[in-house]
Chain A
Amino acid sequence: MQEILNEFSSPQLSRKLLEKVKESAEKFIEKHGRRPAIMEVCGSHTHALAETGIKKVLKDYVNLISGPGCPVCVTEQKSIDAMIKLADGPDRIICTFGDMVRVPGTEQSLLEAKTAGKDIRIVYSPPDAVKIAEENPDKEVIFLGIGFETTIPILAVALQEALQKNIKNFSMWMTTKLVEPILRTLLDTNATKIDGFLLPGHVSIVLGKNDYQYLAEEYKIPGVIAGFEPVEMLSSIYKLINQFLDGRAEIENDYPAVVSDEGNPVAKQLIAKYFEPVDEAWRGIGIIPKSGMDIRGEFAEFNAKNRFQITVGEPRKTKCRCGEIIRGMVAPEDCPLFGKACTPLKPIGPCMVSAEGTCAAHYQYMRED
């Protein structure tokens, strides 16, 4: 098996596929007078495409547009400020994924709050926060639940554990996001020209191939579910361009070793049991109806939004263009702060903080020096 997995990143195979992609992209350019436009929905793809150099070597052939799949990047500033404010109060322990702590809030980041003495802990897995609550019965332990469909079922596992162990001092502040509503919004508003989608491999483990049929059927836009190794990404890009050339709009599963047609049934059941769709605000876009998941009414005791009254003012305005970046409307280089006032060491927006953020990927791997 290990040998098979090694093939997924084989340099020889990658080089050959790269040539194939270029050949078919040239045909497209000849026919349409422009490069094919492919949006990679997932932040991990953005990172992997930049890190492996694929984005750079293909830049004259394929317009690879980064999409809305970086969880902290799509979280609106007000939610971020509210999550940081949660740390106020002497009895609190805030647990979060690592990506969140450096995101600048209007007043401070979670990291700055931690330096100032707040108890803020990075956990690897949401159920770890339940354990922290068990070990600290006199504290309120709050997990900041951000993420897409890959992460939402794991939040359900944490909630189930707290319920089964009857832990009263654990709650979650959820600002999760769903893929279908944002893709529909991007297409409905014509935010940017997209010929096809490189669909997110890990989200698709949960959703399954069938859950993307609306793209092909309603929007006539093709999508290919892709893995994260160079060979996998190049193959999926190639398949997309071939669909454009043939005038087809189909959903293809190019990651069949881990993604099924139906998705993961246990994950889907757990999501439905504990969560329900809610309106969510997206950075730079505003509220999209039923575009996130929050805790169902019957489990409201675990909902930090019920337990703590948090009010925040209007966020400070900055020149940060993350709101347009997550919709693929501008590139990081279009932001006047990119690489100057805003760098990974001193980020101004979340797109520069997260390893999955487009600005961080461009800064690290794609700057033309």
Chain B
Amino acid sequence: MCVGVPAKVIEKYEYSALVDVMGSQITVGIIFVPEVEVGDYVIVHAGQAMSVIDEENAKLSIEEWRRLADAGNSE
């Protein structure tokens, strides 16, 4: 039930947006993410976009995980 899937916003309307989830298009509510823009990725739960995925932070996380993975081999 808590499964949230990343979806790409294709069109934005007043209270909803058309999103693409792994190839299929659905309409989701955007009341919780009024700042969302076309092209953004959102986490969808039970028909509502709950959060916009922040690209900058996603990149930083990956860099951190890569560093973690490669670190300490000299320990």
On A, residues with C-beta under 8 Å from B are: 1, 4-5, 7-8, 13, 16-17, 20, 23, 42-44, 69-72, 97, 99, 124-128, 146-148, 150-151, 153-154, 157, 200-203, 205-206, 228, 231-232, 235, 238, 254-259, 264, 266-267, 270, 354, 356
Is the beta-carbon distance between B72 and A20 smaller than 8 angstroms? yes
Of B1, B46, B50, B53, the contact of A1 (CB 8 Å cutoff): B53
Q: Which residue of A lies closest to B54 (CB)?
A: A257
Q: Name the A residues within 8 Å of B61 (CB-CB).
A: 232, 235, 254-257
Closest to B52 in A: A258
Residue B31, interface by CB 8 Å: yes
A99: B residues at CB distance < 8 A: 1
Chain B, 23-60, contact with A by CB distance < 8 Å: what is the 0/1 string? Answer: 00000010110100000010101111011111101111
A13: chain B residues at CB < 8 Å are 65-66, 69
B45 nearest CB neighbor, chain A only:
A150
Instruction: Give the number of chain B interface residues (Cβ < 8 Å).
Output: 35
| A124 with B46: CB separation less than 8 A | yes
Q: Are A147 and B1 in touch, CB under 8 angstroms?
A: yes
Closest-CB distance, A96 to chain B (whole angstroms): 11
**Contact status of A127 and B47, CB under 8 A, knowing A4-B59, A20-B68:** yes
Interface residues in chain B, defined as those with a beta carbon under 8 Å from any beta carbon in chain A:
1-4, 6, 8, 29, 31-32, 34, 41, 43, 45-48, 50-55, 57-62, 64-66, 68-70, 72
Known: A266-B34, A267-B50. A231 touches B2 (CB 8 A): no
Query: Of A72, A125, A202, A256, which contacts B43 at CB under 8 A?
Result: A202
Q: Are A7's CB and B31's CB within 8 A?
A: no
Contact A17 B65 (CB under 8 A): yes
* Closest CB in chain B relative to A230 CB, distance in Å: 11
**Contact between chains at A127 and B29 (CB < 8 Å):** yes
- Give Cα A256–Cα B63 distance, bound, in whole angstroms: 13
CB-CB nearest in chain B for A3: B62
Residues in chain B near residue A205, CB distance under 8 A: 4, 43, 50-51
Query: Which single residue of chain A is at the shortest CB-CB distance from B59?
Result: A4
Closest Cβ of chain A: how far from B6's Cβ, in Å?
6
